[in-house]
């Protein structure tokens, strides 16, 4: 049986889209499940769209997510099939272009861009194919001597595949079944451009997959229309028997399901569509990433895995990478697109935050505090983290939700004041402050027990006093159990905050 070898082959034309990350993930899971190889190849034949820094960004993104590359770009030693950048494989492609030309499966075309535009204006829905190539300027319509002269003179040209019409082409897809198409619908695609001495994606992709012994091509459904052409190229080269199996993945859709997910959707709705922060070197435009937004890589992986695939027979949603490897199958990948539910992404991050050891979360939280020039005792910090993390989706939420533990309120929420600060609140809280000051044991359990008795003896409403107390300590009507707050703040700080609120709000 042929060893499983899959490849992720992005183009370095900008930041890696989250849809591309999912494609890499599915390739990785499939490879790991079958003890195969996961290869990273950079398809940079479109030199006009090359963006500096994009390749490093791709490598760093996969590394952060834990999608470990076995062979290719970013791997020490790289592998037996180096180089893994298509721009460095020019000489390899030349012999295969020549092979197609010599066998009559491809031809030279000398049509200028202006001539092609003129033909498009002349013929509705024009495509360069068997019905039109005989009126174009190519090696099928001009003499061999003229072709030779044009080449010798350095005239620009392209090499086009020669598609024979009225053939049935079948793409065996592991997700979608057999996709059949008549070859008459396929145009004579450009395979090689003399202008930059590079092949197009179609030729380079086929040659590289063959030479790198790729067993399965798992890619986005946007490549499905090109698959019949690729099947024909394998046939023309005589490689049909060793051709990889195809699996075309469903699109990631906008949150409302109406169209393909784009960066604009993220900008409009306030969620990242890239794994890491990205600054476009040409425009200077900045885009946020999942890493810098505070997502755990494991949460992103878990979230993406379930966008277009399901394990079947289970309501389980939280999966370790090991579980995903064991359960993943192309047979359970959906044919239809998956809505990108960014709120669900937050939910996954929340779940992974709860699973993390408290001291580990506290350590990360402490970095935020240090940036605020707050230096806290580690034991106290762990207690606060343990108390507050149930409410957090991100570690950064801990600062927003627990800031009052470290910084006394400088102002008080107006709506909460109107609702919770009563006429009797100053007097009642002043008495409570004096009561607290006399307590020898200020632990949450003891303070709560004695305070409830004190309130009963005074005949004060528990809700009225406790709501006012929360406002005094927190600055608004939120936070965990009030006596957990008082214990962590300590007696002196609790009394001080009560007195400050009385002076401010009375």
| Residues tagged active-site | 263
DSSP string, 282-305: TT--EE-BTTTTT--HHHHHHHHH
Q: In angstroms, what CA-CA distances link 357 with 382, 383, 385?
A: 10, 12, 10
Is residue 124 within 8 Å of 82, Cβ to Cβ? Answer: no
Is residue 190 within 8 Å of 45, Cβ to Cβ? Answer: no
Is residue 73 within 8 Å of 42, Cβ to Cβ? Answer: yes
Q: In angstroms, what CA-CA distances link 65 with 18, 19, 61, 166, 475?
A: 12, 14, 6, 46, 39
- Based on its alpha-carbon atoms, the radius of gyration of the chain, rounded to whole angstroms, reads 32
Return all residues near 333 (Cβ < 8 A) that are at least 6 apart: 26, 175, 247, 249, 250, 308, 309
* Residue in the block written with tokens 């798992």: 218
If we measure between CA atoms, which residue out of 7, 204, 206 comes closest to residue 86? 204
Task: Cite the DSSP H helix spans in 137-215.
Answer: 144-152, 201-211
Distance CA 120, CA 473 (A): 74
First to last CA, the chain: 82
Q: How many CB atoms lie within 10 A of CB 463?
A: 9
Task: Cite the DSSP H helix spans in 212-260.
Answer: 227-237
b (16+ CB within 10 A) / e for 297-336: bbbbbbbbbbbbbebeeeeeeebebeebbebbebeebeee
Distance CA 181, CA 322 (A): 39
If we measure between CA atoms, which residue out of 146, 190, 183 comes closest to residue 167? 183
Distance CA 59, CA 74 (A): 6
Residues in the chain, total: 506
Return all residues near 23 (Cβ < 8 A) that are at least 6 apart: 8, 218, 219, 220, 249
């Amino acid at each position: 049986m042929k060893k499983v070898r899959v490849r992720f082959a992005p183009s370095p034309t900008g930041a890696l889209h989250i849809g591309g990350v999912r494609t890499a993930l599915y390739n990785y899971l499939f490879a790991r499940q079958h003890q195969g190889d996961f290869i990273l190849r950079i398809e940079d034949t479109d030199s006009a769209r090359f963006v500096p820094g994009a390749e490093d960004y791709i490598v760093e993104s996969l590394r952060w997510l834990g999608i470990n590359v076995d062979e290719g770009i970013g791997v020490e030693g790289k592998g037996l099939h180096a180089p893994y950048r298509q721009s460095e494989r020019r000489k390899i492609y030349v012999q295969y272009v020549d092979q197609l030309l010599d066998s009559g499966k491809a031809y030279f075309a000398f049509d200028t861009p202006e001539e092609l535009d003129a033909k498009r204006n002349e013929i509705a829905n024009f495509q360069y194919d068997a019905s039109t190539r005989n009126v174009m300027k190519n090696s099928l319509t001009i003499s061999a001597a003229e072709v030779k002269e044009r080449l010798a003179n350095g005239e620009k040209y392209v090499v086009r595949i020669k598609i024979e019409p009225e053939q049935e082409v079948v793409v065996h897809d592991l997700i979608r079944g057999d996709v059949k198409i008549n070859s008459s619908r396929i145009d004579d695609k450009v395979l090689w451009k003399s202008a930059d001495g590079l092949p197009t994606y179609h030729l380079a992709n086929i040659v590289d997959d063959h030479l790198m012994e790729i067993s399965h091509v798992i890619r986005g459904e946007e490549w499905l229309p090109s698959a019949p052409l690729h099947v024909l190229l394998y046939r023309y080269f005589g490689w049909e028997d060793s051709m990889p199996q195809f699996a075309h993945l469903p699109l990631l859709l906008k949150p409302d399901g109406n169209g393909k997910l784009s960066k604009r959707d993220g900008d409009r709705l306030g969620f990242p569509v890239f794994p890491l922060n990205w600054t476009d070197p040409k425009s200077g435009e900045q885009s946020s990433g999942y890493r810098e937004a505070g997502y755990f890589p494991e949460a992103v992986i878990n979230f993406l895995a379930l966008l277009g695939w399901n394990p079947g027979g289970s309501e389980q949603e939280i999966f370790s990478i090991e579980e995903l490897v064991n359960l993943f199958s192309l047979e359970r990948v959906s044919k239809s697109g998956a809505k990108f539910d960014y709120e669900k992404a937050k939910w996954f991050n929340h779940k992974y935050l709860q699973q993390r050891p408290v001291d580990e979360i506290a350590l990360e939280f402490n970095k935020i505090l240090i940036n605020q020039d707050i230096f806290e005792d580690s034991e106290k910090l762990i207690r606060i983290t343990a108390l507050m993390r149930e409410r957090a989706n991100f570690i950064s939420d801990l600062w927003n939700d627990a800031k009052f533990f470290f910084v006394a309120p400088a102002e008080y929420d107006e709506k909460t004041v109107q609702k919770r600060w009563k006429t009797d609140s100053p007097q009642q809280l002043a008495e409570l402050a004096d009561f607290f000051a006399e307590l020898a044991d200020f632990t949450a359990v003891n303070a709560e027990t004695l305070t409830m008795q004190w309130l009963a003896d005074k005949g004060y409403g528990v809700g009225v006093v406790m709501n006012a107390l929360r406002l005094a300590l927190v600055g608004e009507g939120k936070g965990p159990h009030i006596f957990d707050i008082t214990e962590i703040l300590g007696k002196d700080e609790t009394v001080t905050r009560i007195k400050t609120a009385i002076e401010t709000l009375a």
